[in-house]
Amino acid sequence: MAILPIIEAPDPRLRVVSAPVAGVDDDLRRLMDDMLETMYDAPGIGLAAIQVGVPKRVLVIDLQRRDEPAEEGAEPVEVREPHYFINPEIVWASDELASYNEGCLSVPELFGDVQRPARIRARWLDYDGSAREEAFDGLMATCLQHEMDHLEGVLFFDHLSKLKRDMIVKKLTKAKRQKLAA
């Protein structure tokens, strides 16, 4: 496995619409393994292939739930539960919305409250290429919708008001200038 460089906004590649995957093979599984390692290393809870420069409809998610330790005062136990989504589609979304303060590995250190359907039902291909369908709510629903936006070239701040969006774009452009000057 390898840690891949993560593309950061305003890189135009993040605006590319990713292409469907024709078949799940070992090359694709290697990409998903690398994406997962990259995501854990960052650290983050979700990563779309385009964020490492691959315009394929593939994403990985692990909410990395932390369980209470058995002993008092000990470090919380991190539970790793990786999810792989190939060619994901949302087949149903609730009218009810939920708001979450979202961030993104491609938009470092910036956050914004985004409203999305609170519950969704999704269909996708799994790590082994088998078809899956499941309903999600809570952080999983939010995270999956955020990552699926990446497949359309959409970033979380596109959902914010123009004022907040302009503020984030300005900060990103400034950060990029500073990086180029450094």
Binding residues for Zn ion (CB under 5 A): 104
Q: How far is the CB of 36 from Zn ion (least distance, A)?
A: 15
Structure tokens at 68: 């209470």
Q: How far is the CB of 52 from Zn ion (least distance, A)?
A: 12
Q: Of 35 and 128, which CB lies nearer to Zn ion in the complex structure?
A: 35
Annotated active-site residue 147? The verdict is yes
Q: Of 77 and 104, which CB lies nearer to Zn ion in the complex structure?
A: 104
**SS3 of 104-128:** ECCEEEEEEEEEEECEEEEEEECCC
Q: Of 28 and 45, which CB lies nearer to Zn ion in the complex structure?
A: 45
Structure tokens at 170: 């300005």
Amino acid, single-letter form, for residue 59: L
β-pairing, 58-61 vs 46-48, is antiparallel
Q: How far is the CB of 14 from Zn ion (least distance, A)?
A: 9
The closest residue (CB) to Zn ion is 104
Choose, from 68, 71, 147, 152, the residue flagged as catalytic: 147
Contact indicator for 69, 92 with CB cutoff of 8 Å: no
The catalytic residues are 147
